[in-house]
Amino acid sequence: MDSFWEIIYSNLRYSDWSTILNWGWYVFIIDIPRFLVLEIIVLFVTFRKRFLAKDEWQLARKKLMNEFPLITVLVPGHNEGKHLHKMVMSMQKQTYKNIEIIVVDDGSTDHTGMIGRSFEERGLITKFLRSEIRGGKASAANLGLKYSKGKFIVHIDADSSLDNDAIEKSLLPFYVYKNLGGVGGNLMVRNDDDSLTATMQYLEYQQSISISRIVTSSLGLYKIISGAFGVFPRTILQRVGGWDVGPGLDGDLTVKIRKIGYDIHFEQTAICNTHVPIEWGKLAKQRLRWSRSLVRFRLRKHYDIWLPNKNFRWTNFFFVLRKCIFRIGAGHHLADLYA
């Protein structure tokens, strides 16, 4: 019996160009211009500008260390007891030291409460808060925000951990750019060896999270600060009312900040290592949930982005339009595969 690759080679060998174009026309019309040509050009320009501005970034670090503001690390989670230790240990190793850590237990049924209180008693975290009734991630994050004292809020997932200099590097853009409302960190998959599903996500994150967000950030089209690792001025979070309850809360928060006139930046040097689903079924449900959230907050709640009113911005219009085109198509395709 012929192997899989022998069958593919045989089919390609005896196919004419019209068949190939009919089969994969979108690769030539959409994928190559979008993922290859555009990204190579923008990446070159971006890295060149970053290299030429290295003195400006060094000055930003001096400003940060001279001011040395208190930073709140906010960690909401549900049934994340097994991940808390790795997250807390990564906080102890940060190069930036003026931080407070607030862990919020959102009605967990595992040992999160016991573990969190133990960390608080040992001084490994600043405050442990627990809600006996599960209210959702947004509710837990808003509870922690009420108790926060930091100038900036670093929001991370409980199943994530940061590189030693991640907080420091995520703060620097606020001292380089004006009118900045949020900074997203660079996500890496830390459990890529657990399964083929996790390994595939590792490769996906390299492109869609790292490369794609560098490009969209440079073009002013960066659309979502991931809840796994994002940094916000506390005053701006309070101004937009924190996190709204419902699906897609990370993207929803990003849109709210953009709508009041602030820019969003992706910092590729601030690395967060996150835990991803290792089973295909859980991955499919996660991605379908992401696609449904698109309809909720981009097409319904924030429909005014499409309207040419006094707050209209072309960058907001195009980042939503781009997301609608590619997310809806990907969501339908994933739904077909999972059905």
Q: What is the DSSP string of 47-112?
A: HHHHHHTHHHHHHHHHHHHHH---EEEEEEESS-HHHHHHHHHHHHT-S---EEEEEEEES-SSSH
Q: What number is the average pLDDT over the span 218-234?
A: 90
- The pLDDT, as a whole number, for residue 149 is 97
pLDDT tens track for 240-293: 999 988 766 788 898 899 888 899 999 999 999 988 888 888 888 777 776 666
pLDDT exceeds cutoff 90 at 317? no
Predicted pLDDT of residue 196: 87
| Local structure of 148: helix, strand or coil | coil
Tell me how far apart the alpha carbons of residues 111 and 81 are, in angstroms, rounded to a whole number: 6
Q: Alpha-carbon dihedral of residues 317, 323, 328, 329, nearest 10 degrees? A: 120
Q: Which of 187-196, 200-209, 289-298 has the lowest mean pLDDT?
A: 289-298
Whole-number pLDDT of residue 292: 64
Q: Is the pLDDT assigned to residue 36 strictly greater than 70?
A: no
Return d(Cα 97, Cα 137) in angstroms, integer.
26
Neighbouring C-beta atoms of residue 330, cutoff 10 Å? 13
Q: How confident is the model at residue 310 (pLDDT cuts 50, 70, 90)?
A: low
Cα–Cα distance measured from residue 212 to residue 5, given in angstroms and rounded to the nearest whole number: 30
Q: Rounded mean pLDDT of 138-142?
A: 94
Q: What is the pLDDT of residue 331?
A: 40
Dist CA 121 CA 127 (whole Å): 9
The percent of residues above 70 in pLDDT, for the chain, comes to: 73
3-state helix vs strand vs coil in the chain, percent to 5? 55, 15, 25
pLDDT of residue 315: 61
